[in-house]
Each structure stands twice: as C-alpha cells, then as structure tokens.
Structure 1
Amino acid sequence: MSDSSQPVEEEPVYKDGPRPYTLAVDIGGTGLKASVLDANGNMVAPRVKIPTPYPNPPEQLVASLTELVTSLPKAERASAGFPGMVRDGMVLTAPSFSCVQGTGSPVDPALVEKWTRFNLSAELTKAFNIPTKVANDADIQSVAVVSGKGLELTVTLGTGFGTGMLYNGQLLPHLEISHLIFRKNETFDQQLGQAARKEIGNKRWNKRVLKAIDVMRTLMAFDHLYLGGGNSQHVHPETLPDDVTIVSNSAGILGGIDLWEPDHIGVHHDVDH
C-alpha cells in the first residue's frame, strides 16, 4: 500500500518572474479561480476566487471571469480549464452549467442550447484581450502533475468526477468518462461527486473511490494515477495502491502554463501567440 500523505498547501512567495506571463483560470462547478504565472510556472500574484453563479449561461460566465481577473497583473496569454467536453476551444457539453443551479438540479434546455458549440476560447480571447486557450479542467490539472513517463491518468474529485490522460507527457484527447455508468445504474459523477460524498459519508465514499480506481486500471492499464480536486482531501491515503498519488488542488491553476506547450494532441494550437 502507498505511504502517500495529503499534500500540504503552503502559502507561496509572490514576486515578479520571467515572461511571458500566463493568466490561468480554473472554472469549477462551485468556484471560479484565477492567478497569473510567470514563464517558470510560479504565481506572481495571490489567487483570486468567487463562487460560481447560477444560472450560468455563457454570457454570465464570461462576464464573471472578466470581473474576476481585473485585479491581477497583466499577462500576455491565458488558459482556462472548463468542466465539460472542450474541443479546439469550443464547448461541446457543459453538464453543470446546463442545469439551473448546477449539478443535481434540473436541466434547462435553453442553457443546453446556449452552451453547445459555444466558442469559449474566442470569447475569452476578446474579453481578456489576450490569446486564450481552453481545455477540460481535469486535463489542465493533469499536465501540471504528471512525470511524463508512460500512460498517466489524473482523476479529479470535486463537484463531479473528472479525468485527464497523458502519454509520455503529451495530453491526449479528452474522454467524458464521468458520464458513463459506474455502478447501480448511476454515473461516475453521481456516485463520486460532492453530493454523493455528503449523502453517504467519507467512509463509504472512499470505498467507491477505490472501486473507481480499479475500473480505470482495467480500462486503460495506467502506469500511474493522480488524485486531485477539492475532495481529494477526503481520500484516505493509507488505503491507496502504490501507483496512486494524491496531488495538490492548486494544479488546476498551475497547469495553465503547460497548456501552451506545442506538443499536446488534445489542445488546439491555432490561437495567435
């Protein structure tokens, strides 16, 4: 069994660093977070955060993010992690934001229509006035934590269940595993999301996490799996196999700079530098 321990969140030292600066935005189902990273991936300003508003159509999200980042230092480029299927900077699905009050609340067909094929990359490029790349939020966490060796999987445990996969450090196209049936005719999201953890308690929820890891192992024979997201703090590290590691939730921000690396298959590269 692993002797992994919960990562200790230390307050970083903020100072000017080498450019280019990257505005890194983490769009979550419960909170919107942002900071600015220097060329080495170090934060040059404290992270800012606000609750995710609901209902949350595209225009509301863009306005909220524009307001959120006003106090941050000027950056030359931006990246944003989004909780849904994103391809070439375009949102294909937005499960949380298609619901009136987020995951678990009724789906609003009007919100589904607004979010489907919404070009979030283009709209944030205009709003921030800098080139902006957008990818799935779990994918962005993934590029920040992997070793770059073999097939590595990141699972984010937060409002829902997210995954990101890399092979030899190269981000692969995103798969929405969270919406597949996991057990008892419920999806990974429904069985392992925040609502389920609160309903059944951490002990039973941890057993489900271990079962999900087994499923992921069978599905892709990963070389290493990383557990992140806000609810990773509730995982019992002593129960984890040796090839599973808990990582800091700050990876959702810190992965923003890595998204600009040119060799990721799962990211669009037609944004002007």
Structure 2
Amino acid sequence: MSPDEAPEPSPRKKTARETAAPGPRTLAIDIGGSGLKALILGPDGQALTERQRVATPKPATPKAVMGALTKLIQPLGAFDRVSVGFPGVVEEGVTKTAHNLHKGWVGFNLAQELGTVTGRPVRVLNDAGVQGFGVIEGRGVEMVLTLGTGMGCALYVDGKYVPNLELAHHPFRHGKTYEEYVGNAALRRVGRKKWNKHVERVLQQIQPIFNPRRIYLGGGNARLLDIPFPENVKITENVAGLLGGFALWKDEPVPR
C-alpha cells in the first residue's frame, strides 16, 4: 500500500469517564516559563484526560507560544470553553506583563487570539491565581506562592481573588526582588540547600505582613523543598495550575 493509500489513524478512544460525563468540557491551559501544559476538565471540574506538556519555545514570543499551544491541544479532543493561566498581570484577557517570557506579550490580547484559534470562549487569569482556585478552601485570607522559573503569588479573601498582586518583583533582600531570591536562576546559582533557606526567609517575611490563614506552595520547584513548615503552610500538587481553570467559569450555569 502506498503512503497516499494508507488508512487514516484511528481516533483516540474516549475513556469511560469521558463518555459518562455530559455537560461543558473545559480546556485548561497553563503557560509557564519552561513548560506549556493542558488537559480537559469535565463538568464537575475533574480531569477527563491526561496532562499534555511541551517545552516553552525559546524565545517565547506570542507567535511561537500560540503555535506550540495549537499542537499541544490537538490530541485532547473536544471542548466547549478555554481557561488559561498566564505568568503575568492579566486584565480582561489582555496580558500586561510577562517577565519570564518575551516583551511581545505586553498588551497582547490572549483571550481574543486563542478564541480565534479554538473557536471557543476563553478566559485568562494570572497562573498563580488559577492554581489557587484549585486548592483554596475559601475561608479567610489565603495565599499561593508558586516556585518555578520565577515566583508567582496570589491572594484570596473568603475565596475571592485579589488580582494583579505581583509580590515577586518587590524588593526583598540585598537589593534582590523576591523572584531573584527564590526563582529558578537563584536555585541554580546558590544550590538546593541554600535555596531552601531562601524560601524559608520568604515565608518568615510574608507571615507577619499578610497574616494568611493558609499559605499554599506550588510550582515545579516546590518538590525540592526540605525545610520545616509552619502549621499554616501546605505543599500542593502542580496539576492544581490546570484544575483551577474550572473556577474561571463558576458563574456560568451548567446545562441539565
């Protein structure tokens, strides 16, 4: 049989969970400085598919990232809406900052562009904000810190998100910002043991300022932590950065 006559590949088989889950499916995307991740969430907010991941293009221009995302989501199947976590300030779907990506993201209408690509409605939020929605309890003051390429931060009061809190770029110690002190570059520079001490100092600084009932630590480098934690500090699974995407649509009625 010639290549032109080869049969079409069989479509991906749906799992029993996918078949049994009527209602809107949410494509959850997490854009990071080192990786792009995606999966499909069912109408109950639980994962229907395995997480897909590819490396973030270098340089991480909007065009390059959008191209990589298009390929990333192809194997995941059908979805009805899209949630995106983005590493920077986001206002009404427009990315305002992107310290760990490319300057081309400043003023980029990510929601509109991704909506054009997917043909579906899109909502975008800061990535730490999305991660928090995957783990918070919705009581009192709660804070999320993500440790990865940089340092993400999100604050919640009784479950309500406080937008655009970029603690990472605030001065911290010895002329360095929080991100310069505990980001991935700092980890490589000072080594794991000393980096752990850096994270411990950050937690000590945050506690008396924000007085959070709970601090959640996430991001790819959280798994490297080996320090004694105060009772109100908890490590979270990195997949929360995708699972929290369901909350971006909580004001939408679920069809019955």
TM-score when scaled to structure 1?
A: 0.83
**Contact 1:147–1:169 (Cα < 8 Å) also in 2:** yes
Decide which structure has the larger Cα Rg and report it.
2
Q: Structure 1 residues 220, 21: closer, same or farther in 2, change over 3 A? A: same
- SS of residue in 2 equivalent to 1:36: strand
Q: How does 1:172-251 map to 2 (within 5 A)?
A: 172-236=162-226, 239-251=228-240
CA RMSD of aligned residues (A): 1.5
Residue 69 of structure 1 aligns with which residue? 73
- SS of residue in 1 equivalent to 2:212: coil
Aligned partner of 1:184: which letter?
H
Q: Structure 1 residues 212, 14: closer, same or farther in 2, change over 3 A? A: farther
- SS of residue in 1 equivalent to 2:85: strand
**Are 1:256 and 2:245 matched, yes or no?**
yes
- Distance between the aligned counterparts of 2:23 and 2:192, measured in 1? 43
**Contact 1:225–1:244 (Cα < 8 Å) also in 2:** yes
Residue 39 of structure 2 aligns with which residue? 35
Q: Structure 1 residues 145, 133: closer, same or farther in 2, change over 3 A? A: same
Structure 2 unaligned regions, length at least 5: 1-14
- Distance between the aligned counterparts of 1:119 and 1:188, measured in 2? 28
Residue 148 of structure 1 aligns with which residue? 138
Q: Structure 1 residues 79, 14: closer, same or farther in 2, change over 3 A? A: farther
List structure 1 runs of 4+ shifted beyond 4 angstroms. Answer: none
- Distance between the aligned counterparts of 1:125 and 1:116, measured in 2? 18
Residue number among 122, 125, 131 corresponding to 2:121 in the alignment: 131
Q: Structure 1 residues 14, 84: closer, same or farther in 2, change over 3 A? A: farther
Residue 8 of structure 2 aligns with which residue? none
Identity %: 38
**Are 1:46 and 2:35 matched, yes or no?**
no
**1:14 Cα deviation (Å)?**
7.2
- SS of residue in 2 equivalent to 1:26: strand
- SS of residue in 2 equivalent to 1:230: coil
- Distance between the aligned counterparts of 1:248 and 1:125, measured in 2? 28
Q: Structure 1 residues 183, 152: closer, same or farther in 2, change over 3 A? A: same
**1:190 Cα deviation (Å)?**
1.0
**Contact 1:18–1:40 (Cα < 8 Å) also in 2:** no
Structure 1 unaligned regions, length at least 5: 1-12, 99-111, 264-273
Aligned partner of 1:253: which letter?
L
**Are 1:83 and 2:87 matched, yes or no?**
yes
- Distance between the aligned counterparts of 1:64 and 1:14, measured in 2? 29
**Contact 1:14–1:43 (Cα < 8 Å) also in 2:** no
Q: Comparing both chains, which one has the higher relative contact order based on Cα–Cα distances under 8 Å and sequence gaps of 6 or more?
A: 1
- Distance between the aligned counterparts of 1:182 and 1:14, measured in 2? 50
Deviation string, structure 1 residues 143-195 (Cα, Å, up to 9, x no partner)? 11001110100000111110011111111212111111111101111110112
Q: How does 1:101-120 map to 2 (within 5 A)?
A: 112=103, 114-120=104-110
- Distance between the aligned counterparts of 1:253 and 1:147, measured in 2? 17
Aligned partner of 1:81: which letter?
G
**1:84 Cα deviation (Å)?**
1.0
Aligned partner of 1:69: which letter?
I
Residue number among 14, 17, 27 corresponding to 1:15 in the alignment: 17
